[in-house]
Structure 1
Amino acid sequence: MNITLDEIQNFIAVVDTGSITSAAQQLDQTVSAASRTLARLEQKLKTTLLRRTTRRLELTDEGEAFLERAREIVAAVENAEEQMATRQSRPAGRLRVDAATPFMLHAVVPLIAGYRERFPDVELELLSSEGFIDLLERRTDVALRIGRLKDSTLHARPIGTSQIRCLASPAYLARHGEPGTPADLPKHSLLGFTEPESLNEWPLLDEKHLPVRIKPTVRAASGETLRQLAIEGNGIVCLSDFMTHADRVAGRLAEVLPQHRTEFRQPINAVYYRNTAISARIASFVTYLSEAIGENGFCE
C-alpha cells in the first residue's frame, strides 16, 4: 500500500480547511497536485474518504475512521521529531497558539521577539478566536484563555492574572466631569459589551454593596473596539489591565472610581489538549509566557 506522510497530511489539510483549494494554499501546492494526492490516497486505501458535493466536502464513515488514525500518525511523527530536538535541548517544529484578539495584540505579540530569540527553531502560528474553539479540530496546540474556565478535559496551566478597572480618557472627564460614586454612572456615556451580558457587571459596589450592572450607551462585541472608543473620548469603559496598562501609563486613559473598585482579577490560563507528557514546544512557550507575564505591569 505504501501510504506516505505527505498523503496523510494532504488529507488532514483538506478536512481542516474544508476544500482542496484551501488545503493547496496551506501546503503551498497547486490545486491539481493536492487533488491528485487525495485521489491517490483513496486509491491506495481502496475506499472513498470524502464525498464531493457542489458546495462542500463531507467525510464518509471510512473517512472519519481514517482521519482519527491519520491525526495520531502525524502527532507521533511530530513527537518523534520533537524528542530528537529535545535531546539537543532545542524545542523545534510548528506551534499553533490561539488567543482572543485583544490578548494576542497587547500581551502575546510584544513577547514574541524575546521568545523567538530564545527558541529560534519553533515555528509559531498565531491565531485569534473570540470564542472557545475545539483545539483538536482546529489543530491548535495551546490556547490562552481569560476568565474562569468551564469544566473541561483540557489541561490548564495558570500563567497570570489581570485586574479589571473602570477607565475614561482625560478629555472625556474634562468635558463631563468625574463620577463621585457608582450612582452617578447613569448620567454618563457608558461603553459596554454586546455579549455576554455578564461583562457589563463592573467591579464596583453600589450603596447596597452589590456589584454594579450598567446599561451601556454604546455596545461593542470586541474589547479592543471599546478600548479605542474610550481613548477617543466616547465614554467610561471597564476593561482588563492587560489591554489598558500602557494607556494608563501614557495618560491616554485614567481610572474612574478607584476608591469603589473591588479586587477582581481575571485568571489567565494556557490550555492544551494533549493528555500525554506536555510537548517541549508547548512547555517552552507556556513557561516563557508565564515568566514574562508575571513580570509585566498589567499583573501588578
Structure 2
Amino acid sequence: MIEKILVTGRLFDVMQSLLASKLDKELRFLSEDRVSESDLKWADAFVSFRPTANFQFENIKWVHSLGAGVDSFLNNRAWKRDVILSRTICSFGQKISEYCLSYILRDLQLHEVFQKLKESKVIKTFEPLAISTQKIVVFGTGSIGQEVARHFRFFGAQVMGVSLSGLQKDPFNQVVPIHKVSGSLQDANWVINTLPLTLKTNKLFTCDLFKHLNKACFINVGRGASVDEYSLLTALDNKNLRLAVLDVLENEPLAHDSPLWERPEIIITPHISAITSPEEAVNCFLDTLKNVDQERFPLINQVEIDKGY
C-alpha cells in the first residue's frame, strides 16, 4: 500500500490543484529544485517526468513517469529490482498519429507547392497523391506504433511494422524484425520512428540503415538519440531521404550552431507531438495508484526494466 507520494516536475502545481481532496494519502508537491534528500527518504512513491538531479531510491517502492518515455529514469542508473516503474499511457497514440498525418498530408496534398505558386500569382495544376498509394514503415509496434498503423490503414496505406522480435501484430500488414528490415525499405515512402530509447535503439538510424531508402521521408516522434544526426544529413545529401520531420532531438533545445537548422528539407518542432495534459496525467496516475495498491501486477503500463519500455 502506497502512503507517501512525492510529486515533482513541470506539472506539480497543477496536479496539486487537480488532486485536492481526491486521495487519502500523504502528498508533497515540489518543484524539482526544491526536492531534498529528506523528501526522497520520506516518500514511498515518486511521480515526475524525470528523476531529480539528487534522485535516490531511498524508501521508494514505486516510480511513475508522467510521460511515455522512461529512458531518463533507466539510463546510467542501476535500477532497484523491487521498485515498480510505470509510465503514462493515455491519448499519445492518437496525438502522434494526428501529428504524422498532418505532415504526410502536407506533403501529399502539395501545400508548399501551391503556396509558392500563390506567392507568384500563378495558377497551375498538379495532382495530389492519396495516402492509399503510400508504403509506411513504422519502427515500434507498441501501443503508439499500433495506433499510428491503425490510422494509416484506415486510409488504405500499406503499413509495415518493425520491432526487435518481429512478432506479428494487428493492425500492421506485416511486422519484420529490425535485423531483417533492410530489404523492406527500398520502396518505403515514409519511415516513422516511435521506438523508446534503449541500449538497442540508441543510434539505430545511421547511414547503414538510411542507405536502403530511396527518396523517402522520415518522421521522428520516438527519441532523438535513436538518430545519428550526421547520418541523417548524409542521407539527405545522398537523396536516400528527401524530407525529415523531427519532433525529438538528441539535445533539446537544439543548439544554435546545429547544421540541422540550415537544411530546408528538415522540419523541426519542439517535442509537441504528444504533450501530456494535466487531466490525462492525473487520471493515469490515479488508475495506476489504484492498481498498485490492489497489487494488480503486472500493470498495463508497467515497464519491463530489462527491455527499457
TM-score by length of 2: 0.29
Highest RCO, 1 vs 2 (Cα 8 Å, sep ≥ 6): 1
Between Structure 1 and Structure 2, which shows a larger proportion of helix residues? Answer: 1
Between Structure 1 and Structure 2, which shows a larger proportion of strand residues? Answer: 1
